[in-house]
Chain A
Amino acid sequence: MQTLSRDAAAVKSPLLEVSRVSLSYELEKEKLDVISDVSFGLCKDEFLGIVAPSGAGKSSLLRIISGLQRPTGGEVRVKGKVIHSPVDEVFMIFQNFALLPWKNVLENVLLALLCKDLPEEVRRQKALKAIEDVNLKGFEKAYPGELSGGMKQRVGIARALALEPQILLMDEPFSSLDPLTADHLRVEFYSLLISQESPIQAVVMVSHNVEEVVELADRALVLSDRPSRVVQDVKIGLPRPRNKKSQEFYEYTDRIYSLLT
């Protein structure tokens, strides 16, 4: 009986728990609060969008969740375990792609598999499959400098796919692309990452683009300006695929905008 109830609890417990996280810097006697007491949870198959004004510490929050940075208060748990450094289950996609300019597309994706205990050939197959999934077949030997912004972000996505994390963090993933490319990639990206066979079980995306969050997310976490606090956790109950021109879509964006200001 006891084991069974513990299992039941494990299923219910969220994949990611952020509890009472705060971050502050000491700046010449002054204390600068960046994040103040932020808590939220993320369950399997959930897409969380975090919206906040520019410079509100969104990126810092993501870095804390990823284990890259220690919070000054509170803790982050992944599958119930408190994390102190990067863990296998979490990976991040960056605004500026973070590709190594001296490695070609294939080598960049292979880098993600470097520390997996896999035979050389399997790694290669996985990397090639990921590159094919993001529609970059034929560009394996190209260097990042030869690719457009959209293609670079595709490589970033391929790297995440190959790594197969359970939680994917995204820091403004579409904001350094031109609007048309961004629109395109958003749609494609959603069907790719949230598909049934995808290993990715939950996504946290940070953005200052409200429309983008309403288009993609199941929940939007609205944060205040510095120091960041949770203003509201908005559940976005729109059916998918979402129509950006519908009345409901406008209502959601309006509501989030008014929460932001």
Chain B
Amino acid sequence: MSDVIPGLVVDTAYSWVRMFVALALSILFSWCVGIAAGRNRTAERLILPALDVLQSIPILGFFPIVLVVFVSYLPLSLGVNLSVTFLIFTSMSWNIAFSVYESVKSIPADYLDLTRMERMSLWRRVTELYIPATWGKVAYNSATSWSVGLFYLISSEMFSLGNSAYSVKHGIGVDIATFASQHRWGDYALAIGVLIAAVMLTRFLFLGEFSSWSEKFKLGEESRPPKKDPIYRFYSWFNAATRAKVSSALPRGRHLRIPSVKLQKGSTDLRRLVRAVQVVLLALLAAVAVAAAFSAAPNMNLGQLGADEAEVLVAMAYSFLRVWYVYAITAAIALPLGICIAVSDRALHAVTPLLQVVSAVPASALLFPVALFVSTLPFSGEITAAIVIFLGMVWYLIFNVIAGVRAIPSEIRDTARLLKVGRWNFWRHVYIPAALPSFITGSITAVGGAWNTLIIAEYYVVSTRGGGATPITQVSLGLGKLLDLATQGGNITLIGLCVLTMSLFIVTFNIAVWRRLYNRTTKRYSYGG
């Protein structure tokens, strides 16, 4: 049994190369796009809305593009490798790009004046000022992007489309899926073990170091001496990473406003031009979408389109309920549990290493035993989906709650103790409100992630090379399942409808609910001396 370990290590190395290439590409892409948007108002007006739309597209929405571009035109092995890397890239890059933009925008004016007085060339300005200024947020966003990417790595190294199955030759995701579908659970456990070890090593040797190294690039802020306790450092790091992702990834509603006819007073010709370009681009986008829809389904009629859209809406309603009831359960467990762990030093030190190990496994890798375990129960598909969504959410919530409670200044704890407010009042007036902002931050990330998790949680088949497709799990109705089936069947119209409806819904929800909630809690609940 142990003879599989060397193979697993090699396969993990291959997977990690894909991950690192995707991360490096994401950072490069983010610098190009983010610095351009941060420096130039014209670029800003074109890039930000584009990013907002792109980041709300469910990752599977990129799948058909990937296949058409990479698999059809390139040699198979290269094409499949590129597809996997590109998919991971799409799951990693948008929030990093936003964080670069934000960092460039928040460079203090003094520094910009300085570069101007020193007559720096653009290239030197980019390398000496813009890029260093972005390191902090890039590092923290890389950490969250890494775990999101890992989720898709596991499930995209092996994928099937219609009757054809594609798979990379070496990859830990392939190993996990193969062992699980052949019921070799001993080997499966070893594969998970190797995966955990690799994740932990990456976290501590690369991601953690990356973010503490990036701290020294903070502009115009005194660096605070880092806390010595490694446990405390882990939680505050995790919280900082989630916050960085949320603040970067929540759409700033104003950029999404479709250019209004009423131009601002004193608008220049340039601004008018930008508006015009925006309108043209939007029109083009719409035209392309319509044209694509029509060309893809030549005998499509409006009735069919309406029926499809109705199907999409029903599926989305199911998925919406699924995400939110699982979120409610997860939150009801994570909030009290997180506080219980955080208030006791002993519990925190005992539990943290365990939590770190368990949380290192992406939910997509745990799908197989979960599905098998509940397969005899009624509604097994529904339960599997719930468990996978739960696993995807729970760490964001627990870790952020712990970080929030641990960040309570000791003076406030002391005051509450001196006032002898009692245990229940301590929870009600101190712990729960203190945990709230980071809990909301965690919730935004968790729920946002859950929409993407659906694609695997609601429907999953493994197709082994040569063999047929083995269904692992499926629910009765859901957007993730619909999208999967549409992709499998090559139904571009339905894919388009799914992606469009879901993106619109997510963007609206983010602006209407999360952005507001986030702004309100972070404003009121900061200690600020």
* Cα(A63)–Cα(B418), bound, Å: 10
In the complex, the answer to whether B525 meets A114 with C-beta atoms within 8 Å is no
Flag if B418 contacts A90 (CB, 8 Å): yes
Question: How far is B430's CA from A90's CA once the two chains are assembled, in angstroms?
Answer: 21
Known: A92-B418, A111-B429, A115-B421. A98 touches B412 (CB 8 A): yes
Query: What residues of A have a CB within 8 angstroms of the CB of B415 in the complex?
Result: 92, 94, 98
Determine the main DSSP class of B at the interface with A: helix
Q: A94-B411, A96-B411 are in contact. Are A114 and B526 (CB under 8 A)?
A: no
Answer yes or no: B262 CB below 8 A from chain A CBs: no
**Contact partners of A99 in chain B: CB under 8 A:** 412
8 smallest beta-carbon distances between A and B, as pairs? A98-B411, A102-B433, A94-B411, A98-B415, A86-B418, A98-B412, A102-B525, A114-B421
Say if the beta carbon of A136 comes within 8 Å of chain B.
Answer: no
CB proximity to B under 8 Å, residues A54-94? 63, 66-68, 86, 88, 90-92, 94
What's the Cα separation between A92 and B414 when bound, in Å? 9
The answer to whether B414 touches A68 (Cβ under 8 A) is: yes
Q: How far is the CA of A92 from the CA of B422 in the complex (A)?
A: 18
B432 (CB) vs chain A CBs: closest residue:
A102
Picked from A97, A103, A149, the residue with its CB within 8 Å of the CB of B429 is: A103
Within 490-529 of B, Cβ neighbours of A (below 8 Å) are at 523-529
Interface contacts beyond A92-B418, A95-B411, A149-B529: sample of 12 additional A-B pairs, CB < 8 Å, sorted by A: A66-B414, A67-B418, A68-B418, A98-B409, A98-B414, A99-B412, A100-B433, A101-B524, A114-B429, A143-B524, A145-B523, A145-B524
Question: How many whole Å from B345's CB to the nearest CB in chain A?
Answer: 14
Distance of B417 from chain A, by nearest CB (Å): 6
Q: Are A145 and B429 in contact (CB under 8 A)?
A: no
Question: Which residues of chain B in 400-422 are interfacial with respect to chain A, using CB atoms and an 8 Å cutoff?
Answer: 409, 411-412, 414-422
Cβ-defined contact, A94 with B526, below 8 A: no
Contact A68 to B417, CB < 8 A, known contacts A100-B430, A100-B433: yes
Residue in chain A with minimal CB distance to B428:
A114
Does the CB pair B411–A115 fall under 8 Å? no
Quick one: closest B residue to A62, CB to CB? B414
A182 at the interface (CB under 8 A from B): no
Contact indicator A86/B433 (Cβ below 8 Å): no
- Given known pairs A95-B411, A96-B409, A98-B411, the reply for A111 and B526 (CB within 8 Å) is no
- A-side residues, CB < 8 A to B, are 63, 66-68, 86, 88, 90-92, 94-103, 111-112, 114-115, 143, 145, 149, 163, 176
* Minimum C-beta distance from A205 to chain B (A): 16
Q: How far is the CA of A97 from the CA of B528 in the complex (A)?
A: 11
Which chain A residues lie closer than 8 Å to B433 at the CB level?
A: 100, 102
* Residue interface bits B420-451, CB-to-A below 8 A is 1, else 0: 11100100011001101000000000000000
B409:A115 contact, CB within 8 angstroms: no
The contact sample of 26 A-B pairs, CB cut-off 8 A, is A67-B418, A68-B417, A68-B418, A86-B418, A86-B420, A94-B411, A94-B414, A94-B415, A97-B411, A97-B529, A98-B411, A100-B412, A100-B429, A101-B524, A101-B526, A101-B527, A102-B524, A111-B429, A112-B419, A114-B425, A115-B420, A115-B425, A143-B524, A145-B523, A163-B419, A176-B529
- Report the separation of the CA atoms of residues A99 and B416 in the bound assembly, to the nearest whole angstrom: 10
Counting chain A CB atoms within 10 Å of each CB, the highest count among B409, B412, B415, B429 belongs to: B415
A248 to B407, CA, bound (A): 46
Chain A CB count within 10 A is highest, among B417, B419, B425, B436, for: B419
- Closest Cβ–Cβ distance, residue A214 to chain B (whole Å): 26
A143: nearest chain-B partner, CB-CB: B524
Contact B525–A91 (Cβ < 8 Å): no
Complex contact A63–B419 (CB within 8 A): no
| Docked pose: A161 CA to B414 CA in angstroms | 17
In the bound complex, CA of A102 to CA of B417 (Å): 18
Which residues of chain B have C-beta atoms less than 8 A from A94's C-beta? 411, 414-415
Closest residue of B by beta carbon distance from A92: B418
**B429 to chain A: which residues have CB within 8 Å?**
100, 103, 111, 114
Cα–Cα, bound, A111→B416 (Å): 9
Complex CA gap A96/B416 in Å reads: 14
A111 adjacent to B421 (CB under 8 Å): yes
Task: Check A96 against B420 for contact (C-beta < 8 Å).
Answer: no
CA A92 – CA B419 in complex, angstroms? 10
Nearest-neighbour CB distance to chain A for B296, whole angstroms, equals 53
Nearest opposing residue in chain A for B433, CB measure? A102
Contact B418 A91 (CB under 8 A): yes
Residues of B within 8 A of A96 (CB): 409, 411, 529
Residue from A102, A114, A115 with most neighbouring chain B CB atoms (10 Å): A102
Residues of chain A within 8 A of B420, CB atoms compared = 86, 88, 115
Give the distance to chain A from B343, nearest Cβ to Cβ, in Å.
15
Complexed CA–CA distance, A130 and B211 (Å)? 46
Contacts of B412 in A (CB 8 A): 98-100
Q: Determine how close the nearest CB of chain B comes to the CB of A126; give it in whole angstroms.
A: 14
Interface centre among A95, A100, A145 (most CB of B within 10 A): A100
List chain A residues, Cβ under 8 A from B416. Answer: 111
Contact present for A66 and B418 (CB under 8 Å): yes
What residues of B have a CB within 8 angstroms of the CB of A143 in the complex? 524
Measured CB to CB, the nearest residue on chain A to B437 is: A102
A-facing mask of B46-90, CB < 8 A → 1, else 0?
Answer: 000000000000000000000000000000000000000000000
B414 and A115 contact, CB distance less than 8 A: no
B525 touches A101 (CB 8 A): yes
Which residues of A have CB within 8 Å of B430?
100
User: How far apart are the CA atoms of A90 and B417 in the complex, in Å?
Assistant: 12
